Amino acid sequence: MVGSATPIHLCFYAKCSNTPGLQVIIFGEAGAGKTSLANISTNQVKPIYIFCPKDSSFISIMADIVYKLVDSLDRRADFTFDLSTGNISKGSLKINIDSINVNIFASLIPRDRLICIVLDEVDRVEDESVVGKLAELAKGISTVLPQLTLIFVGVGDDAESLLKGHSSNFRNLRQVPLGRMERKDLEAILDRGENILDIKFSDVVKKAILNISDNFPYWVHLLATSSAEICLIRSVKTVNQVEFRLTLSKAAKEAEASLKEDYNLASRSTHGSTIYRRILSALANNDDVSLSLSTVQQDINEKGDKVVTKQSVGQALIVLTKPERRKIVVREGDGFYKFRNPLMKGYIKVSESLNNDA
């Protein structure tokens, strides 16, 4: 089980429950395992994976779908698609991708096989009309293409926020929220990896991985796979502290580039001040998701030699919410602050572990 989702075959839940045409949306925080869940829950049918960049248009997404559909069907496709010109040819039908609609798209889908299309990172799409058109597509195919399932994946608090207000367009929708995983489930991931790869994490390393993860499978997977690669390189069977030190260095380089970029920009100071870095450290090393100004100040003063005032911390926190600092911190409620990207906690912990051991 991943996150708080139920262990079902998401894509073909419709077929199991006699409700053909059901579409799926998986939402939750970044790093909660949404994409992984979508890719492993398709009832042994390889999904067609579509990544949605922020500048996506409806036509660019449809072109990607049609192009990958031809590839997935291999020689069984009865149409051709020229990606360079956008021309689709099927018998006497010759149209450009710019003219595609539900009926034309339906004519390209074979009736004798189940198809799954994963639309990942839908939340990144800046043009809200694109999401609306995708929702209309899902509504149309629910009736005419019961053998096709769309899985919408992205960061969001609910289906409505992910679909930018267009969830009502869906006739049949299965919503799958993903929360952070329980510690026992994260331990199960490590245990399974040990059995499959025939390696062992020392108790100290296992505890360190779980503490860094902040209950996100993203960090557990990254640290565990990096550890396994280090073991292969060093020809050892156990991940001890020496191997884990190398793992941290590897993971810091392979983590999402945006985490490193955002952190470096947010923590820099033209006057040599460390207050931004100390604030980010306080937010990262506290179990609570959000902290009050007073709690941040208290943490900084308990761990540092130089005392900082509440006013200084408050002013610095405001700066960290600004676009020029990548809005690395967001304010919520009455004076509480948290990371905009919850994976930032793990990145800072990894970086600080490396620096502390240096």
Q: In this structure, are 231 and 292 located in the same domain?
A: no
d(CA 320, CA 331) in angstroms, rounded, equals: 10
- Co-location of 297 and 314 in the same domain: yes
- 323 falls within a domain: yes
- Which of 135, 157, 178 is the last residue before a domain boundary? 178
**Same-domain status, 106 and 25:** yes
Q: Which of 254, 271, 294 is the last residue of a domain?
A: 254
Domain shared by 160 and 250, yes or no: no
What average pLDDT does the segment 233-258 reach?
95
- Is 156 found in the same domain as 53? yes
CA-derived radius of gyration, the chain: 24
What was the pLDDT predicted at 275?
Answer: 95
Report whether pLDDT(14) > 50: no
Q: With 80 as the cut, is the pLDDT of residue 235 above it?
A: yes
Binning pLDDT at 50, 70 and 90, where does residue 73 land? confident
Structure tokens at 49: 């994976």
Give a yes or no: residue 5 inside a domain.
Answer: no
Its domain, for residue 125, covers 13-178
Same domain, 78 and 160: yes
Contact 218, 346 (CB under 8 A): yes
Q: Considering 116, 148, 178, which residue would you say is the last residue of a domain?
A: 178
- Amino acid 4: pLDDT: 42
Per the structure, how many domains does the chain have?
3
Is residue 279 within 8 Å of 338, Cβ to Cβ? no
Those residues with Cβ within 8 angstroms of residue 298's Cβ, 6 or more apart along the chain or in another chain: none
- Tell me what pLDDT residue 10 has: 53
Is position 1 within any domain?
no
Answer whether residue 6 is part of any domain.
no
CA distances from 69 to 38, 59, 79 (A): 18, 15, 10
Model pTM?
Answer: 0.84
Residue 162: inside a domain: yes
Residue with token string 């470096």: 264
Note the Cα 296 to chain centre separation in Å: 28
Q: Does the pLDDT at position 79 exceed 80?
A: yes
pLDDT at 45 over 90: no
Does one domain contain both 77 and 203?
no
Nearest to 262 by CA among 246, 287, 280, 289: 280
pLDDT digits (tens, 9 = 90+) for 314-342: 999 999 999 999 999 999 988 899 999 99
Report residue 83's pLDDT band, with 50, 70 and 90 as the boundaries: very high
Look up residue 344 and give its amino acid.
M
**Confidence at 19, pLDDT banded by 50, 70, 90:** low
Position 311 scores a pLDDT of 96
CATH of the domain at 262: 1.10.10.10
Assigned domain for 3 exists:
no
For residues 215 and 350, state if they share a domain: no
How far is CA 161 from its chain centroid? Answer: 16
Q: What is d(CA 213, CA 32) in angstroms, rounded to the nearest whole number?
A: 11
| Cα dihedral: 121, 127, 133, 135 (round 10) | 40
The verdict on 191 and 262 lying in the same domain is no
In a domain, 2, yes or no: no
- Give the CATH number of the domain where residue 233 resides: 1.10.8
**Strand 200-201 with 238-239, pairing:** parallel
Assess whether 169 and 36 both reside in one domain. Answer: yes
Percent of the chain with pLDDT over 90: 70
C-alpha to C-alpha distance for 340 and 107, rounded to whole angstroms = 43
- Res. 17: pLDDT tops 70: no
Q: Is 90 exposed, middle or buried (0-12, 13-18, 19+ CB in 10 A)?
A: middle
- What does the alpha-carbon distance between residue 308 and residue 310 come to, in Å, rounded to a whole number? 7
Judgement on whether residues 58 and 157 belong to the same structural domain of the protein: yes
b/e burial code for range 221-251 (CB count within 10 A of at least 16 → b): bbbbbbbbebbeeeeeeebeeebbbbbbbbb
Residue 7 has pLDDT above 70, yes or no: no
Contacts of 123 (CB under 8 A, 6+ apart): 154, 155, 156, 162
Residue 139: what pLDDT? 87
pLDDT for 20 equals 63
Based on the domain organization, do 97 and 161 belong to the same domain?
A: yes
Greatest mean pLDDT range, 23-32, 41-50, 60-69:
60-69
CATH number assigned to the domain comprising residue 126? 3.40.50.300
63 in a domain, yes or no? yes
For residue 171, is pLDDT > 70? no
| pLDDT exceeds cutoff 80 at 75 | no
